[in-house]
Amino acid sequence: MAPVYARVTNCIVARIGKESGGLCALTGAASSGGALKAVCSRILDDSRWQSVPHLAFVLKEDGSESILAAFGVFGETEFERLKSLSAQIGRVDQNARYIDYRQAEQDCEILAARLKERFGRRELRSFSFYPVPRGGVIVYGMLSYALDLPATGDNSSIAADAPVMFVDDCAISGMRFGQMLGRFPGRRVIFAPLYSHPDLRRAICDREPRVIDCVSAHDLADLAPELYGEGYAGWHAVWSQRLGKEVYWTGQPEYLCFAWNEPESSFWNSATDKLEPGWRLVPRNRCLRHRSVDGPPHRDTDTPLLQVLPKAAGPIKPANGTIYARMPDDTVALAALPGSECYILEGTAAAMWFALVEHGAVEPAAASLAGRYEVEAERLEADMKRFVENLRDQGLVADS
């Protein structure tokens, strides 16, 4: 059973403790395993996986943690994507916030109170309002009730040169705000996102003389200084250069998702030297926008892309760090974590592996295969014993 490198490799995507916080908040799952399963189901909708041969994601409940790993024939570009996915899941599990409609309504009431305090009800009614598509349309609908404002688009009583207020659900870098600003040349502007970082709001006011003020219901925290430590200054300089002058602020705020939209993110793929869209993690039932997206790309195989490993019967069972997957060609990919050394079991060896996982002992595992092979029972049992000893030597199975 020699390691195979060129054909199939493996990569740990996520190791999440039982006390998962952010992922459970985003997915609505009660456990880390359920959260990772929901996230993986959403990830597999992405067409970028379509080009990966022999792809299989594996979910394993392993003692005090849940493990999500991937098997496949990965090039440098795919490995960079897996690394970015792993980093994104890790950050989200530490800091994520899910805003349902009830929370959004409360947030709009807070924003309304702050706008009334800043401008007064009379002045607010003299403004023109522009809901930034599409999340801003939902926020403006709630805000218009809280402030008794005109319906969207009804500006017939508003002066043509009146200040215009941009309303949005969140602002991360300010790029979308800059795009909207160009649509209203010469007009004075107020920016009112529900969520934003205070440094972003200050940067917009400092750079744009037409901006009267920026007001939010809630401040986002920047996690980058703690995340990168002494390397933060270098990280900030590199990403500021990559994003260019179209953004007003560079940082890594806590991960947000609204009941209607999961805001876009991005990562740098060093294999292609290009920015790529980040991964959508929130399942369809938790985000209105995702329900209109097509399902996973068609693949010419009956092997599921996500395989949830069953609990082994024992007393002989896969070791704590062992993961495996049934591949589209009916082989078994097998690996001991951490590390990327990958073994391939074919033919009889693959059948023996699944029999061992199911029965947990040499004798019943061998007996379950007796009807499939024209081999004497004693020889089949002896072969199974040698197979198990080989697995033990590799650290792939253990005795409970």
Supply the CATH number for residue 180's domain. Answer: 3.40.50.2020
Residues 20, 71 within the same domain: yes
pLDDT confidence tier of residue 252, bands split at 50, 70 and 90: very high
Average confidence (pLDDT) over 14-27: 81
In the predicted model, what is the mean pLDDT of the chain? 88
Contact 98, 286 (CB under 8 A): yes
Average confidence (pLDDT) over 299-315: 80
In a domain, 177, yes or no: yes
In a domain, 66, yes or no: yes
Residues 77, 108 within the same domain: no
Q: Name the residue range of residue 42's domain.
A: 9-97+296-315+322-345
Average confidence (pLDDT) over 190-209: 98
**pTM attached to this predicted model:** 0.86
Average confidence (pLDDT) over 214-228: 96
Percent of the chain predicted with pLDDT > 70: 92
**pLDDT at residue 6 in the model:** 39
DSSP letters, 334-365, are EEESSS--EEEE-HHHHHHHHHHHHH-SHHHH
Last residue of a domain, one of 219, 252, 281: 219
Residue 231 has pLDDT above 80, yes or no: yes
- Taken in order 297, 300, 302, 305, the sign of the CA dihedral is negative
In a domain, 375, yes or no: no
**pLDDT at residue 158 in the model:** 60
Over residues 137-164, the pLDDT tens digits come to: 999 999 999 999 877 555 555 667 889 9
**What is the C-alpha R_g of the chain?**
27
Residues 123, 165 within the same domain: yes
Residues 87, 182 within the same domain: no
* Strand, helix or coil for residue 146: helix
**pLDDT at residue 299 in the model:** 59
In a domain, 144, yes or no: yes
Residue 276 has pLDDT above 80, yes or no: yes
**pLDDT at residue 341 in the model:** 73
The residues near 349 (Cβ < 8 Å, ≥ 6 apart) are: 1, 332, 387
Residue 300 has pLDDT above 70, yes or no: no
Last residue of a domain, one of 170, 194, 219: 219
Average confidence (pLDDT) over 243-249: 93
In a domain, 244, yes or no: no
Residue with tokens 């792939």: 396
Average confidence (pLDDT) over 369-388: 87
Residue 180 has pLDDT above 80, yes or no: yes
Residues 93, 106 within the same domain: no
* Strand, helix or coil for residue 15: strand
Residue 62 has pLDDT above 90, yes or no: no
Contact 265, 276 (CB under 8 A): no
In a domain, 353, yes or no: no
Query: Exposure of 54 by Cβ count < 10 A (0-12 exposed, 13-18 middle, 19+ buried)?
Result: buried
Average confidence (pLDDT) over 53-69: 85
Number of domains present in the structure of the chain: 2
Neighbours of 122 (CB within 10 A): 8
**pLDDT at residue 18 in the model:** 66
C-alpha 328/C-alpha 105 separation (Å) is 48
In a domain, 380, yes or no: no
Minimum mean pLDDT range among 17-21, 82-86, 176-180, 297-301: 297-301
Residues 188, 150 within the same domain: yes
More confident residue, 359 or 63: 359
Residues 110, 88 within the same domain: no
Residues 62, 123 within the same domain: no
Residues 173, 205 within the same domain: yes
Residue 114 has pLDDT above 90, yes or no: yes
More confident residue, 339 or 279: 279
Minimum mean pLDDT range among 103-107, 205-209, 350-354, 368-372: 368-372
Residues 88, 130 within the same domain: no
Over residues 310-357, the pLDDT tens digits come to: 887 779 999 888 899 998 888 899 988 776 578 889 999 999 999 999
C-alpha 307/C-alpha 57 separation (Å) is 6
Residues 82, 127 within the same domain: no
**pLDDT at residue 3 in the model:** 35
Residues 39, 135 within the same domain: no
In a domain, 212, yes or no: yes
pLDDT confidence tier of residue 4, bands split at 50, 70 and 90: very low
**pLDDT at residue 21 in the model:** 82
